[in-house]
Amino acid sequence: MILVTGATGTTGRRVAKRLSKWGYRFSALVRDPDKAPNLKSPKVELIKGEFEKPDSLKKAMDGIEHAFLLPPESKDQVKLERNFIDAARESGVRYVVKYSSIGADPDSPCELLKWHGESEQYLMQSGLRYSIIRPNLFMQNFVTYCGDSIREDREFRLPFKDAKCGWVDVRDVGRLIAKILTENGRTGSVFTITGPEALSCEDVAEIFSDAVGKKVKYIPIKPKEFRKEMINSGISERMAEAYTELYKLIGDGLCDVVTDTFYERTEKQPRTFDEFVDDNLSTFLKKKSKSKK
């Protein structure tokens, strides 16, 4: 049996969807089963549990062989991931697939990458069989964070300077994770997953312009300015600062990485940025007002 965490979020939702499509039975750890109606299925068992409560994790892992570790976003991420890894080891879980990040390193100057690096290290030393997934930045971030500004103002603001990024479609990440979860993979595998090409934000702006039929501008801003915008949107100062550190590294070329991992593991070509935009075009187009008769 497989256990999926984060199944209501951006990545975990795609993992769950892919497992269901392939006909696998699995369990999904959720805080409140009543708030996860889209996961309900004869082949999916919703188990109430929280990373902050180790006993609930142990209960959720009863009979589990393979587990996907995707913790909630938190300044306590390392502690939460250790809770999960300890529970997995004590419950007899055979294989853990951890969601991480490109650039993860326990010595990173960026807290987000440091947290992932420390958790990776803890998993590696746990005695469990494991695989680690390090995705590049998601194409879907343009839907979540830039969709409104592209649609209404024909522009998007990011603190990435002229750096390139191997943007990856989260649907491809979900497929890869689901495949690895259902295999008895070689322990110690670390997979960096990217899209097929490295693109700057100017490149991305050109793709959007061609798709919507009007000029879309990329406006580079300073990380501190973006930090202020994040705080104004409701993100805590601690997390906003952590993201600011990450964005500085991205601007310096952290994500200018392209690998063949997705094709090598799935024998499918990763989605291009053009394909992503075409699939989500309605998000970036202004709705035409109905003419009065």
Q: What does the pLDDT read at residue 293?
A: 44
Q: What does the pLDDT read at residue 186?
A: 67
Alpha helices in the chain (DSSP H): 10-21, 54-60, 77-91, 111-124, 141-144, 147-153, 170-181, 201-212, 223-232, 237-251, 261-266, 273-279, 281-284
pLDDT by residue for the chain (293 residues), tens only, comes to 999 999 989 999 999 999 999 999 999 999 888 888 888 888 899 999 999 999 999 999 999 999 999 988 888 999 999 999 999 999 999 999 999 999 999 999 999 999 999 999 999 999 999 999 999 999 999 998 898 999 999 999 999 999 999 999 999 999 999 999 999 766 789 999 999 999 999 999 999 999 999 999 999 999 888 888 888 888 888 888 888 999 999 999 999 999 999 999 999 999 999 999 999 999 999 775 554 44
Q: What does the pLDDT read at residue 185?
A: 64
Burial 195-211 (b: 16+ CB within 10 A, else e): bbebbbbebbbebbeeb
Instruction: Looking at the structure, give the CATH architecture of the domain made up of residues 2-135+168-193.
Output: 3-Layer(aba) Sandwich (3.40)
Q: How far is CA 61 from CA 46, 73, 192, in A?
A: 12, 21, 27
Q: What does the pLDDT read at residue 72?
A: 85
Burial 24-62 (b: 16+ CB within 10 A, else e): bebbbbbeeeeebeebeeeebbbbebbbeebebbbebbe
